[in-house]
A and B are shown apart, each in its own frame.
Chain A
Amino acid sequence: MYAVVIGGGKVGLNLTRELLAKGTEVTLIEGRRERYLRMDAELGFVVQYGDGTELWVLERAGIQRADLVVAVTGDDEDNILICQIARDKYQVERVISRVNNPRNRQYFELLDIRPAFSATDLILKLIEHEVPDYGLVHLLDLPEQRLEVIEIVVCEGCRADGLEVQQLELPEGSIVISVLRGGSGFVPKAETVINAGDEVLVCLDPSLEAQITALFEAAK
């Protein structure tokens, strides 16, 4: 596999080191002279100097034969352009981008650049998972398959509190796949009673999320 990484900040540099350690062929492109020289001392020919949004710089790095392009510069517009050009002009099969400002994620989605990762979103997901009071956690998202698995806390006095699973009247396209209670989990039966304080895992179509969460949230 051949990977081209654009942007030699902390993410790009460490990613390059890890890929090299795994035996992957990598070229790292960095546009700031100082940074380039520092990395050149460590990585040698792996690092190339230049603006990774210039076509000739990408071509010099051999983007035509790249299997993977990773855009991790500190500029979202640059990352968008790199991914678009890699995918559409050079037919690179896989492009991965970093989103620096989570508010720009909508533009990556608009231009169909995926996957796009943002450190803020990743940390936010961890917070959601680590802080139980947060309510809803996405355990698995498969947007293209229109499927997700969420973990949700059953609140005191919510509509689901005290009902059997079969009485929940979940919408078509959703199912309770397990219940976490007192530190252990089990797969519920139709007559299992849901209690406040339980956490339930639900597999569902993402468009049903609001309907599902309404069942488990405290009455307003």
Chain B
Amino acid sequence: MSFVLIVGSGRVGSIVARDLLAAGHEVSVLDGDPLSHERLDAGQESTWEGAGGRFTIGQAIERDALVEAGIERADVFIAATNGDNTNLTIAQIAQKMFNVPRVLVRVMDPARAEWYGSQGMEIICPTSYAVTMFETALGLPGADG
């Protein structure tokens, strides 16, 4: 079991959070918008906290908020806010300031994703996946590569 800190409880972050919790991990979510908490509860039998999850309201870039959300003992850090630059910045904070062993970053822009990937960061780029899937569906040559 790992302790996973997810920053950004949007469409992606909230579902990954729920799935990780269901798989038996300890999960803490940080988001600046209290309403985003509802995403975690929506359609569930128990509340997020009732199911064992943690939720902290705070800005991703605020050191105090990250500490309150448990970054100091996180095994995995997921940066999934809606801002590429915020994600890339907080991911580096998690790596370099808090020595989190595994850091995953969502980056929408393929160019920035490629560059930071080449610098050794573990990047998830939904845009690249979408492009590949469209092109595969259309039978474009080389789309699978």
Chain A residues proximal to chain B, CB less than 8 Å: 53-56, 75-78, 80-81, 85, 88-89, 103-104, 106-107, 110-111
Contact = CB atoms under 8 A, between A and B. Distances in A.
**How many interface residues does chain B have, given as a range?**
10 to 19
Contacts of A77: 61, 83, 85-86, 88-89
Contacts of A104: 61
A106 B92 contact: no
16 contacts: A53-B112, A55-B115, A56-B111, A77-B85, A77-B86, A80-B85, A81-B88, A85-B112, A85-B115, A89-B115, A104-B61, A106-B63, A106-B97, A110-B96, A111-B92, A111-B96
A77 B81 CA distance: 13
A107 B88 CA distance: 12
A81 B115 contact: no
Nearest to B64: A103
Contacts of A89: 115
B104 to A, nearest CB: 18
A54 B96 contact: no
B62 interface: yes
Nearest to B96: A110
Given A103-B62, A107-B93, 7 more contacts: A77-B61, A77-B85, A81-B88, A81-B112, A106-B63, A107-B97, A111-B92
Interface string B36-72: 0000000000000000000000000111000000000
A110 B66 CA distance: 16
A75 B92 CA distance: 17
A103 B96 CA distance: 17
A110 B85 contact: no
Nearest to A76: B61
A56 B115 CA distance: 12
A88 B119 contact: yes
Contacts of A80: 85, 89
A54 B108 CA distance: 11
B84 interface: yes
B109 interface: yes
B88 to A, nearest CB: 6
Interface string B92-115: 110011000000000001011001
A32 B109 CA distance: 19
Nearest to B88: A81
A103 B84 CA distance: 20
Contacts of B111: 54-56
Contacts of A54: 109, 111-112
A75 B119 CA distance: 23
